Amino acid sequence: MYEIIKLVHLSAAIVWVGGMTFMLYALRPAAMAALDAMPRARLMVAVMQRFFLMVAIAVLLLFTTGTNLYTTGFRSVKAATGVGSVPLGWNAMLVLGLLMFAIFGHIYFSGFRKFRRAVAEDSWPAAATAAARIHTLVVLNFGLGWLAIAALRLLR
Ligand code: HEM
């Protein structure tokens, strides 16, 4: 069962981090090069609408499976040694993961709402400001995601 839960966890991470890689380094630069501001903004609203729904599902899966893996690991060490503990990398993943969830919440409930409204109202300056804010936060989450994965692998 532990391995199945870990597979779900890993799959959700691949969808989220892989999706951010595609958005940041393929879709966004290509849209910047090929489209004018307003059609590009409309495309990005439609893309984000779909991608952020996937991320919301990934967040739910990462949280439920992650806390399950964490507590299972903690309990099995406690059963074997009498003292519960987990590797440092697991704690780093927990903290960085929770930070990533909070940042995503901010992107979804604040930045994306503003961006969508500005595009619906054809207000380019407001759309550009909101899009830039979303971009910064996605770059931040992308970095934190890789940091969490590196910490898990490298910190014992
Ligand atoms: C509440 C937040 C999270 C918790 C408590 C958590 C917990 C864990 C734990 C305990 C493991 C180790 C399992 C093992 O080695 O047996 C793990 C593995 C992993 N986690 Fe997380 N995690 C969280 C969020 C995230 C996030 C946001 C990402 C994506 C960036 C992520 C990506 C991964 C990956 C790629 C692995 C490696 C899976 C493997 O070795 O096959 N986790 N997580």
Could you read off the pLDDT of 123-136 as tens digits, one per residue? 999 999 999 999 99
Q: What is the mean predicted confidence (pLDDT) over 15-31?
A: 98
Q: Is 77 exposed, middle or buried (0-12, 13-18, 19+ CB in 10 A)?
A: middle
Q: What is the dihedral of CA 1, 101, 147, 156, to 10 degrees?
A: -40
Alpha helices in the chain (DSSP H): 2-22, 28-34, 37-81, 88-106, 112-120, 124-154
**Quick one: which atom of ligand 1 is closest to the CA of 13?**
29
What pLDDT, on a 0 to 100 scale, did the predictor assign at position 156?
87
> What separation in Å is there between the alpha carbon of 59 and the centre of ligand 1?
12
Distance CA 87, CA 106 (A): 29
CB–CB of 9/69 below 8 Å?
Answer: yes
Does residue 139 surpass a pLDDT of 90? yes
Residue-wise pLDDT tens digits, 97-123: 999 999 999 999 999 999 999 999 999
Question: Which of 8, 103, 152, 154 has the most ligand 1 atoms within 8 A of CB, as the residue to mutate?
Answer: 152
CA of 16 to the centre of ligand 1 (A): 13
| Gap between the Cα atoms of 126 and 122, Å rounded | 9
The per-residue pLDDT for range 45-82, each reduced to its tens digit, is: 999 999 999 999 999 999 999 999 999 999 999 999 99
